[in-house]
Structure 1
Amino acid sequence: MSLEKPIFKINLLIICVLTGLAPMTALAQLKQTTRIEIPTRSSAEEQFDLFSLGEAGALMVIRRNEFMGSRNEKWVFTKYDTDLKPVWTQEYGMDFRYIPVMSYQNPDYAYWLFAEPDTDHFLFLQLDLARGHIDIHKGDLLPNVSVHQFKVIGSKALVAGYYRNRPIVVVHSFFDHTTRVLPGLFERNMEINNVDINEVDGLINVITYAVRKRECVFAIKTYNYEGKLLKTTALKDQENSLISGQIVPLNPEDSYLIGNYSIGCTPFSQGLYVTHIKDNIPEDPNFIEFSELQNFFNFMKPKRRKRVLDRIGKRESMGKENKFRYRLLVHNLIQTENEIVLVAEVYYPNYKTNSPAMFNGLSRQYMRSLDGFRYTHAIVCGFDRDGNFLWDNCITIKDLTSFELQEMVQLTPIDDYFLLAYPQDGSIHTEVIRRDKVVVEKEEYEIEGKTEDEKVLFNENATLAAWYGKYFLAYGVQRVSSGKNTVGPQREVFYINKFTYNTEDIGKPKSAGEASSRKSTGLKR
């Protein structure tokens, strides 16, 4: 699980926790094996986070102001092994002038990017994941850069964003403290779609999207480790416009690009595409319309889905195209030994209408403002290692909204299955698929306390993260009562749970007793 993500000021009480899930079938289940708790401090401002380090363990990060209103903030890093036993703890007192912007992780180090507002001063915190040693690197980049991506390759930090409304990628060397800007990017009407790093070959790929003379231009600019522009690969199609793309490298001169596309320069996706790029020459993309996916419309109610499929069939028989436009939030590609898996959530922005106000003293005007994002479903598509489209599936997301546009659905390969899960209102919704088949229908599990005698008083927006193999991490903050009576003693803790998932008995029939108890309870411990 990558550490690369924005760091937001999150109220402690809205961070949530997953403590248990009910069995999917009679024997297939998420089972809690270990749980640790860290009491929260009512006298301090605290923020908790947890990151998977795979088989190397997990990293917990606590940001804490020891005294309410204090300007200096202490960062406490604790590494745990796979049994959730602490390996080391390291602390760092952060200068109050710097604010956290983004973080990034590779197998050996974790990095945090800090900025001093209204200046060109930046600070990089480098944490050795094996020993817990901290190194601090300072540099001057550009003032008031709107940072969108932060990555590290070798001993160089890449900070991508916008300066004076134009795209920019700044490279800062930890070794000699020099800073340079990658050439060929500072243009009007251009956006940075993604910054992809190839550690093996020492290459930096900046994927850009630009509109020139009403034409959408999607390009990959490839730089060497020193920041020299090596080549530009332009991808254009007469009818379709590529919106996003992720590179699957085969070797320095051979790769695949997978993403979504639209018709015209719009953010509304028409479907997915995959293209082979060899010797800097892209082949014609293979476009896959949403109407061609077998399970894309499974999120609809049966009658509506039938009407849509009937309309698709009728238009195809008449030789007409089927065009469906959706907004997609595409996740990082998941690569297994034999497959490349794409996960994307379908969403739309929610707007609210504010109260009317007088305008120039003559008329009344209603104002609309963004009120978060609503998710409808997530699609899962599989490609083979040669870039051929193989299968698709989906999971329905009902009435789920988020103020921030963020990845909600998690997919994890286990044996020959894929587990899909997302949190909502203190519950976890799951579905198990085997490629294009659903083998365990969607189920909902209430989140429960540590024991049957405890009552969870606060618990929402649960977090479930893949760890390694068949193991999962669940973490967050809970306020629980020591008994079922809510007036009894209470405690508030940040906790980490280790879960294991068993798929060996998926598909075996459940007894009547198991089926009835499954509906009313979550996982009891």
Structure 2
Amino acid sequence: MPNLRVLLLYLATIAPALLWAQEPQQPVRLELPFEIGTSHLEVIPIPDSSLLVYSKKSNAWLTDATFLIEKFDSQLERGWSAQLDLKYEYEFVRHYTESPYTYLIFQANRPEHYTFVRINNDNGTVRQEEYTLDEAELMHEFNVLQGKYFIIADNRYDQKPVLLYLDPAEKKPLMLPSVYGSESTFSDLLVDPTQGFADVVLTESNGRISRLQVKRFNAKGKLLGNYFILQQENKSLLNAEVTPGDSLSKMLLGTYGARDLRYSQGFFTSPVASQVVSGEFYSFLQLKNFFKYMKPRREERTKKRELARVAAGKEPLHRFRLLLHDLVVTPTGYVLAAEAYYPQYRSGSSYLDPKLRSGERAANAYKRTHAVALGFDQNGVLLWDNTFPLRDVTTPELTHAVEIGHLPGGRFVMVYPEEKKLQYRIMEQDRYSDKETSIELLPYKQDEKITSTEMPGVVRWYGSSFVAFGYQRIRSPKSPSRSVFYINKITF
């Protein structure tokens, strides 16, 4: 009996570790009959644990198309479907869900012509409205507050970023007061339906120093207040994400730099409503795992050299560009994730992109070195950091390559698609592991084989579930090969 008690105690002790070490499950798969050359699909998770799947299916001559939105439940069983009345030329731009509606934006060949679609998530009822937005050429952000639209876009006349407000009842967009200098841009847009306002984070720069400003608007587009976040000496605040909540509890979490405003030197946190400099700064060298994407010897040499340069008052040699993710709110605070990247250029390219600082050449791709996650408490104090090395991960545009999510037990997960697999890393606070973990996507039947995968993607769904999707060619021993758009549920 004593030995049995010891065994039971041992099993109770290791059970959480065994559970966490299990490979993610794939409980259900959906295949839709779409070909990659004649279709475009978007997979849109909605808060009730359902999925909306938007599809544009063209004819063989690419002169006409059918636009469809379908709803699937958590087991990927089909619910309602709704057809959209759009001309072939229209392309999907962005979406946003404010229950009980999901809003989708479509753009025509003439870039100022847009169609906004509102669809009821419960029954599929559709409302379509056409707008002419002369100021909006390229949309970067789209949020909805009480049925009103907040849009961050590039002004097609001068390429400067603009903040637009659109009340569907008024039809005419309003340009909200926002960016003033040529070097200024937007860092974050967050609507808070509970509080009834939208917060916009601006990065203001004169090319030498940079600071942050938070502007608050109500659902009618009225400016409620400005909050200026002042930097410490020799530290420029570059980009930040804002937390939800009321004015007194709001925090900014972001990156700071020094002389060259293209590069970050660390992370900072600061109360939004603070009238004095009261934030916390964490240089990359202070973080436990930031340099773990390097091999151990290189990491040791790099940190030793960089610490010596800092002690001598010199700039670090290792400089990083970081692409921030939206904040993840946890029961104890927040997690800020970011991807470290560097641009890749066309050979012999000499043209300039007016949207880039300092006259940089336009990049044709962005390669990642690693992704990082930092856990903070509700007061912005750093609790832990961890790193996910990214090898050969490149995107043609500067968009997120990694999907992130908070799991039960305080864990955090990062995942990205790689052909027939998903590469992932489960983080238990600052406990770093160099073990590579991946899961191979499964077909419907065990005897089937996935022969090719194109345009793979993955998004966070609900709870501890993600959804992987893309185009695949499937070979079956008892039937002809088939081309499908697949959707696999992945549960961690």
TM-score over 0.5 (shorter chain): yes
The letter for the 2-side match of 1:270 is Q
Indicate conservation of the 8 Å contact 1:272/1:288, yes or no. yes
CA distance in 2, matches of 1:439, 1:415: 19
Structure 1 stretch 27-36 or stretch 313-322: which is displaced more?
313-322
SS of 2:278's equivalent in the other structure is coil
| Distance of 2:125 and 2:141 partners within structure 1 | 25
Q: 1:96-111 residue pairs with structure 2 within 5 A?
A: 96=88, 98-111=90-103
Asked whether 1:162 is paired with 2:154, we answer: yes
Matches for 1:99-498 after TM superposition, within 5 Å: 99-118=91-110, 120-142=112-134, 145-163=137-155, 164-165=157-158, 166-185=160-179, 187-212=181-206, 214-237=208-231, 238-264=233-259, 266-278=261-273, 281=275, 283-312=277-306, 314=308, 324-354=318-348, 370-416=363-409, 417-438=411-432, 441-460=435-454, 462-483=456-477, 489-498=480-489
Contact 1:291 1:323 in 2 (8 A): no
Change over 3 Å in CA distance of 1:133–1:355 after alignment to 2? closer
Preserved contact between residue 422 and residue 438 of structure 2 (Cα < 8 Å): yes
Unaligned runs of 5+ in 1: 1-23, 357-367, 502-525
**Cα separation, partners in 2 of 1:440 and 1:471, compared to 1, 3 Å:** farther
Aligned position for 2:358 = none
Residue 84 of structure 2 corresponds to residue 92 of structure 1: yes
Within a 5 Å distance, the mapping from 1:76-87 to structure 2 comes to: 76-87=68-79
Distance between the aligned counterparts of 1:425 and 1:302, measured in 2?
A: 29
> Which residue of 2 is the match for residue 59 of structure 1?
52
Question: Normalising by the residue count of structure 2, what TM-score does the alignment of the two structures yield?
Answer: 0.85
Identity of aligned residues (%): 26
1:68-104 CA distance string (max 9 Å, x none): 2224x32211111112111211111213464433222
Whether the 8 Å contact between 1:291 and 1:324 is mirrored in structure 2 is no
Return the letter of the residue paired with 1:477: Y
Once residues 484 and 207 of structure 2 are traced to their aligned partners in structure 1, the CA distance between those partners, rounded to angstroms, is 57
1:341-368: CA deviation from partner (whole Å, max 9, x where unpaired): 0111111011232499xxxxxxxxxxx8
Moved more, 260-269 or 310-319: 310-319
CA drift at 1:219:
1.4
Q: Distance in 1 between matches of 2:362 and 2:137?
A: 25
User: Do the aligned partners of residues 428 and 304 (structure 1) sit closer, same or farther apart at CA in structure 2, a change above 3 Å counting?
Assistant: same
- Structure 1 distance, partners of 2:459, 2:267, is 26
| Partner SS state of residue 130, structure 2 | strand
The yes-or-no answer on 1:34 pairing with 2:25 is: no
More divergent stretch after superposition (78-87 vs 425-434) = 425-434
Residues 427, 462 of structure 1: 8 Å contact kept: no
Query: Is the Cα–Cα contact under 8 Å of residues 135 and 154 in structure 2 kept in the other structure?
Result: no
Distance 1:83 1:408 in 2: 26
Q: What amino acid does structure 1 have at the position aligned with 2:451?
A: L
Which deviates the most, 163-172 or 127-136? 163-172
Task: Tell me: CA distance 1:420–1:167, structure 2 relative to 1, closer, same or farther (3 Å).
Answer: closer
Moved more, 122-131 or 90-99: 90-99
**3-state SS, counterpart of residue 123 of structure 2:** coil
Three-state SS of the structure 1 residue aligned to 2:143 is strand
For the structure 1 residues 323 and 248, does the alpha-carbon distance in structure 2 shift closer, same or farther, using more than 3 Å as the test? farther
Deviation string, structure 1 residues 46-71 (Cα, Å, up to 9, x no partner): 11221222443111111112452224
Partner SS, residue 298 of structure 2: helix
Which of 335-344 and 47-56 deviates more? 47-56
* Closer/same/farther in 2, CA of residues 133 and 193 from structure 1, 3 Å limit: same
Post-superposition CA distance 1:108-129 (Å, at most 9, x none): 2211223344474432111111
Distance 1:86 1:381 in 2: 38
SS at match of 1:267: coil
SS at match of 2:304: helix
The structure that is strand-richer by fraction is 1
Task: For residue 32 of structure 1, give the secondary structure of its aligned residue in structure 2.
Answer: coil
Per-residue CA shift, 1:150-171, capped at 9, x if unaligned?
2211121122223232332221
Distance in 2, Cα, partners of 1:407 & 1:112: 20
User: 1:339: Cα distance to partner?
Assistant: 2.5
8 Å contact 2:195–2:245 — kept in the other structure? no
CA contact (8 A) 1:109 1:126 kept: yes
Quote the offset at 1:310 in angstroms: 2.9
Q: More displaced, 62-71 or 291-300?
A: 62-71
Q: Is the 8 A contact 2:29 2:443 kept in 1?
A: no
Provide the C-alpha distance between the structure 2 equivalents of 1:319 and 1:188, rounded to a whole number of angstroms.
31
Q: How far, CA to CA, are the matches of 2:394 and 2:433 in structure 1?
A: 27
The structure showing larger relative contact order (alpha-carbon pairs under 8 Å, at least 6 residues apart) is 1
Deviations 1:468-494 (A, max 9, x none): 22333222221011139xxx8311111
Runs of 4+ residues over 6 Å off in structure 1: 24-27, 316-321
- Mapped to 2, the partners of 1:469 and 1:268 lie a distance apart of 35
- Secondary structure at the counterpart of residue 392 of structure 1: strand
Contact 1:127 1:133 in 2 (8 A): yes
> Residue 455 of structure 1 aligns to which amino acid in structure 2?
K
How far apart are residue 277 of structure 1 and its match?
Answer: 2.4
Q: Normalising to structure 1: TM-score of the pair?
A: 0.80
Decide whether aligned partners of structure 1 residues 311 and 25 sit closer, same or farther in structure 2, where only a CA change above 3 A counts: farther
